[in-house]
Structure 1
Amino acid sequence: MSKLALVTGGAQRIGAAICRHLHQRGFDIALHYRHSAQAAEGLAAELNAQRPESCQLWQADLANMQSITELGQKFLARHPELELLVNNASGFEASPIEDCSEALFDAMLSSNLKGPYFLIQALLPALRAGSGSIVNLIDIHSERPLQHYNAYCAAKAGLSSLTRSLALELGPKIRVNGISPGAILWPEDADSYDASMREKILSSTPLLRRGEPEDIARTVAFFAEEAPFITGQILAVDGGLGLAQPGSQ
C-alpha cells in the first residue's frame, strides 16, 4: 500500500515539484490548493495518468479557520493515517513598517504560520496513526531579514520556532523538520525582485546560481524517508547564501 503525502500549495512552482518527486518515489498525493484549480486539476491528471487514483485534490483556504477545520474533518474521514505533511503554501508580500496595514500583517501571519499550525492540529490523529513526518517550508530570510518584508520574515521565523517546538512536543510518533530555501524561483510579482536585486542575490551566493525546485523536492523526500533519527532540524537549501556576510544582499 502506498504511503500518502499531503502537500499544501501543491499545484504550482515548488509545490508541484514536490508532488511530482514524491509521486515518482511511490507516494500517493493529496494535493491541496486554494485558488489554482486549473493547475491543480492538470497536475492531478498528469499523476493519475502515470498511476491511476494516486492523486486527489483538496481545496481549502488555509488562512480561514473554518476552512481548515472542514478540510481536517473531511481528510480524517477518508484517510485515518497520514505519513507525510508538507506545509508548502505561503504568502509573500512587502510590508514596509510605515504603511503596513493590519489586514496585510494578519495575511502574512495567517498564510505562513497560523495555517500550518492549525492544519497540523487538525491532522494530528492521522499523523500519529501513520507515525508521520512533517516538513515545513521556511525561508533563509527567517534568519536574514529581507528589507521591507518584515511581516513575512516574522511569520517565517515563527514557523521556524514552531518546527523545533513541535519536534519536542510530538515525538516520538511524529518527526518535524524544516527546509529554508534560498534563491530557487523568483517571486511571480516581477516588481518584488527587480534585475538588480536578483543579480545582487546571485552574486552573494557561493554557487553563483539559483537552485531548482527539485532541490527542495529531494530534500523533502530525504526528511520523509531517509532521516528517521532527525527531528527538529531546519536545513538551508540555499547554495551557501546563508554564509554571505550581513549586508551583502
Structure 2
Amino acid sequence: MQVASASNGRVALVTGAARGIGQGIAAWLIAEGWRVVLADVDRQRGATVAEVLGDNAMFVYMDVANEEQVAAGVADVLGQFGRLDALVCNAAVADPHNITLESLDLAYWNRVLAINLTGPMLLAKHCAPYLRAHGGSIVNLASTRASQSEADTEAYAASKGGLVALTHALAISLGPQIRVNAVSPGWIDARDTAQRRTEPLSDSDHAQHPAGRVGTAEDVAAMVAWLLSRNAGFVTGQEFVVDGGMSKKMIYSE
C-alpha cells in the first residue's frame, strides 16, 4: 500500500475515478504527492471517494461524451488549482459483452464509442493547452480487447482499438510538449474490498495467468504513475499491456 506524501504541486485529472481502476489510480497518485481531480457521472460515490482520499482530492461531475461538460470540468480544475499536469482517461462503458451482431442496437454502439473513444478525444482537446504549458502527459486506459476478442463484443473492442490508435495519433500531434501513452489492462479484479472478500476468485482464475494471479487496480495504477512521471520522459505513443502475460499465452481447446 502506498504511503501518502506531501503535495508535489502537480495536478492530475482522472476520469471514471469513482470506483475500480480509476479510483485505484487516483489513490496511487495522491500517495505520490499529486493533487487529483476525480471526474465521474456518479456524483454521490465520486464525492464520497474524494472525501476519503483527503485534502489533495477533488470531485467534478463529468459525462466525458458531453463536450460542454468536459469543457466545464476542465475549467473547474483550472479555477481550483491554476494548472494541469496530467490527464488519465479511464471513464468507459466497461462491460464488453453484448448480444449478437445481428441484434446489436445502434444506440448502444454509438454510446459505447462516444464514452470510450470520443470522450478521450474531447478531454485531450480541452486539456491540451494547459498540459502543454507544463510539459504534461496523457494516459489512455485501453484494453487487451483492442487486439483480441470474445464473441459479441464488437462495440467495446472497436472502441478500445480506436483508443490505441488515437493514442499514437495524439502523441504525434501534441509532441514534444505533451507525451501520450496507453495502458491496456487484462483481467483486473477492481471490485470493492468487501466484495472481493465475500466472493473471492478461484485458484484456477489466478493459476491460468503466467504471472500466477489476477491483476489488481494497483498493478494498473503503478504503470500509469510511471508513465506520468519524468522517468518516462522518452516514452510516448506506446501501448503498455498489463495482463499478467495472458495475451502471450497460447491457448487451445483440449
Task: Give the TM-score category using the shorter length.
Answer: 0.7 to 0.9
Alignment of 1:67-106 (within 5 A): 67-93=69-95, 94-95=97-98, 96-106=100-110
Note the residue ranges of structure 1 that are not aligned, 5 or more in a row: 189-197
In structure 2, distance between residues paired with 1:187 and 1:12: 8
In structure 2, distance between residues paired with 1:210 and 1:141: 16
Percent identity over the alignment?
35
Cα offset for 1:46?
A: 1.8
Change (3 A) 1:89 1:247: farther
Change (3 A) 1:156 1:91: same
Cα offset for 1:63?
A: 1.8
Q: Which amino acid aligns with 2:176?
A: P
Please report the TM-score for the alignment, with normalisation by the length of structure 1.
0.87
Cα offset for 1:221?
A: 0.7
Cα offset for 1:243?
A: 0.4
Q: 1:167 is matched with which residue? A: 171
Alignment of 1:1-249 (within 5 A): 2-35=9-42, 37-48=43-54, 52=55, 54-93=56-95, 94-95=97-98, 96-185=100-189, 204-225=208-229, 226-245=231-250
Please report the TM-score for the alignment, with normalisation by the length of structure 2.
0.85
Q: Which amino acid aligns with 1:24?
A: A
Cα offset for 1:81?
A: 2.5
- The SS at the match of 1:31 is strand
Note the residue ranges of structure 2 that are not aligned, 5 or more in a row: 1-7, 193-201
Cα offset for 1:25?
A: 0.3
> Residues 173-216 of structure 1, C-alpha deviation per residue, up to 9 Å, x if partnerless?
0000110101112789xxxxxxxxx9987565222421111000
In structure 2, distance between residues paired with 1:32 and 1:205: 32
Deviates more, 1:155-164 or 1:86-95: 86-95
Whether the aligned pair in 1 keeps the contact of 2:190 and 2:216 (CA below 8 Å) is no
Cα offset for 1:246?
A: 6.1
Cα offset for 1:55?
A: 1.4
How many residues align? The count is 235
Change (3 A) 1:247 1:84: farther
